């Protein structure tokens, strides 16, 4: 009898859950608490967000969502957009899983009826949502999805996909160009994650541009996501005696690799892409990463950047991660498009996005009509000195 009661209880719990989720408003955050409550449905413009709130990239996803919430609150406090309409963000977790991303895109466009979507940060999630966006005619502005195929496929631009970051070939070209031309490196070694899309892309393009310039890749070693011991690969790299070790990986692996490389006596400086900058890097491997060069989206010393950083820190008591800056620029781009479109109609916003030319904290964002990428955006080269990312110079590379 006990079992039966429990089973009954369980069933009723599930029904309640179903009913709750069916009727209740999804977990949303209205930009301004007071304003959001006052505003009637017609005065609220809903914007979707998707990204990882769970899983190994949750730090960045949470930061993106928090940044967007903060900016929407600020915009709403200043009177909103389109002469008084409030912005509201509806954010859902994708776990970094393409399948979940498709579900979220369907939910945001179908059920929540958002006018535009911000994010996701992962290319693997940004690519499969394209058909959903096309069907619903809702634009998406990806934050850090750097795979070229997010916006352009087989030479054709995807009508509803945009992004605010530069792309992998560009990042690879900048790293190779800066390393070869400015720092004078001729022999490079690469240690990359074979099971990661970002890592594979960056490796390919770095190798391509570095060798065309005349440099040689003396060692190219791979590891698999989840590995924590890199000594076998590093020993081989040490034997090859490179002048620079290129790490197209994320900060967690980079920190472990840096520590083990120094242990093994590799003194060559490290170099990495936009997966590296994180406050976590210093807590994990402060001494080992000194002198590391990073191709970054943002120059941390820029006054505007400082302003955003302190606003975020005041509100959440945490350091702003890299994704936050790009989320900021995605918001700037979207708000500009809404204002220029003169309405909260998603098709009109898409048209406005195609001709957008705004200034964000990561640089000028001029959307190319045929690529939907920010054209000619300069990368910021930063160098780790102490516990700071010291800005070196803006650097732009030409693709072929």
Which residues contribute to the site for other proteins (CB under 8 A)?
Answer: 3-4, 6-7, 10, 14, 17-18, 20-22, 24, 26-27, 53-54, 91-93, 95, 97-100, 102-103, 106-107, 109-111, 123-124, 127-128, 130-131, 135-136, 147, 149, 153-154, 194-197, 199-201, 224
Rounded to whole angstroms, how far apart are CA atoms 120 and 327? Answer: 10
Place of tokens 């890097």: 281
Using an 8 Å Cβ cutoff, are 115 and 45 in contact?
yes
Which residues does residue 63 pair with via DSSP β-bridges, in sequence order?
A: none
Cβ closest to other proteins, residue 121 vs residue 123: 123
**Smallest distance, Å, CB 55 to other proteins?**
10
Using an 8 Å Cβ cutoff, are 277 and 306 in contact?
no
Collapsing DSSP states into helix, strand and coil, what is residue 329?
Answer: helix
CA 158 to centroid of chain Cα atoms = 19
For the chain, the residue count is 400
Rounded to whole angstroms, how far apart are CA atoms 5 and 103? Answer: 35
Cβ closest to other proteins, residue 127 vs residue 365: 127
**Smallest distance, Å, CB 325 to other proteins?**
23
Which residues does residue 219 pair with via DSSP β-bridges, in sequence order?
A: 189
Cβ closest to other proteins, residue 55 vs residue 342: 55
Cβ closest to other proteins, residue 20 vs residue 228: 20
Cβ closest to other proteins, residue 114 vs residue 344: 114
**Smallest distance, Å, CB 113 to other proteins?**
8
Cβ closest to other proteins, residue 94 vs residue 296: 94
Nearest CA among 60, 133, 54 for reference residue 297 = 60
**Smallest distance, Å, CB 225 to other proteins?**
9
Rounded to the nearest 5 percent, the helix, strand and coil shares of the chain are 45, 20, 35
**Smallest distance, Å, CB 294 to other proteins?**
22
The beta strand positions in 4-142, using DSSP E, are 29-30, 44-51, 86-93, 116-118, 140-142
Q: Specify burial of residue 10 (Cβ count, 10 A radius: 0-12, 13-18, 19+).
A: exposed
Using an 8 Å Cβ cutoff, are 292 and 258 in contact?
yes
Cβ closest to other proteins, residue 52 vs residue 292: 52
Rounded to whole angstroms, how far apart are CA atoms 323 and 308? Answer: 12
Collapsing DSSP states into helix, strand and coil, what is residue 122?
Answer: coil
**Smallest distance, Å, CB 103 to other proteins?**
6
**Smallest distance, Å, CB 110 to other proteins?**
3
**Smallest distance, Å, CB 101 to other proteins?**
9
Cβ closest to other proteins, residue 4 vs residue 78: 4
């Amino acid at each position: 009898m006990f079992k039966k009661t429990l089973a009954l209880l369980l069933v009723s719990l599930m029904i309640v859950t179903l009913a709750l989720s069916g009727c209740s408003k999804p977990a949303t955050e209205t930009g301004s608490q007071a304003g959001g409550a006052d505003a009637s449905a017609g005065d609220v413009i809903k914007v979707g967000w998707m990204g990882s709130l769970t899983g190994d990239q949750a730090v960045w996803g949470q930061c993106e969502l928090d940044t967007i919430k903060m900016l929407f609150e600020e915009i709403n406090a200043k009177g909103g957009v389109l002469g008084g309409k409030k912005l509201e963000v509806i954010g859902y977790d994708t776990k970094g899983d393409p399948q979940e991303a498709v579900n979220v895109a369907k939910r945001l466009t179908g059920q929540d009826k958002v006018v535009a979507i911000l994010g996701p940060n992962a290319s693997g999630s940004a690519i499969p949502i394209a058909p959903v966006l096309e069907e619903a005619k809702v634009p998406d502005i990806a934050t850090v999805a750097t795979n070229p195929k997010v916006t352009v496929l087989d030479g054709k631009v995807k009508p509803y996909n945009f992004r605010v970051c530069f792309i992998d070939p560009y990042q690879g070209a900048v790293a190779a160009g800066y390393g070869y031309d400015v720092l004078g490196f001729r022999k490079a070694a690469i240690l990359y994650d074979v099971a990661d899309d970002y890592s594979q892309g960056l490796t390919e393009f770095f190798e391509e541009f570095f060798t065309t310039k005349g440099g040689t890749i003396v060692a190219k070693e791979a590891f698999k996501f989840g590995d924590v011991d890199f000594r076998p690969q590093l020993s081989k790299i040490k034997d090859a005696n490179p002048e620079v070790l290129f790490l197209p990986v994320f900060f967690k692996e980079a920190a472990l690799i840096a520590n083990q490389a120094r242990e093994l006596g590799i003194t060559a400086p490290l170099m990495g892409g936009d997966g590296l900058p994180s406050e976590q890097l210093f807590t994990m491997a402060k001494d080992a990463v000194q002198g590391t060069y990073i191709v970054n989206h943002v120059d941390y010393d820029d006054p505007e950047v400082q302003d955003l950083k302190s606003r975020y820190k005041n509100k959440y008591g945490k350091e702003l991660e890299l994704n936050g800056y790009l989320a900021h620029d995605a918001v700037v781009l979207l708000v500009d498009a809404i204002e220029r479109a003169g309405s909260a109609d998603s098709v009109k916003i898409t048209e406005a996005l195609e001709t957008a030319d705004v200034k964000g904290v990561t640089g000028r964002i001029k959307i190319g009509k045929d690529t939907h990428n920010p054209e000619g955006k300069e990368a910021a080269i930063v160098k780790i000195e102490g516990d700071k990312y010291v800005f070196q110079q803006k650097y732009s590379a030409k693709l072929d």
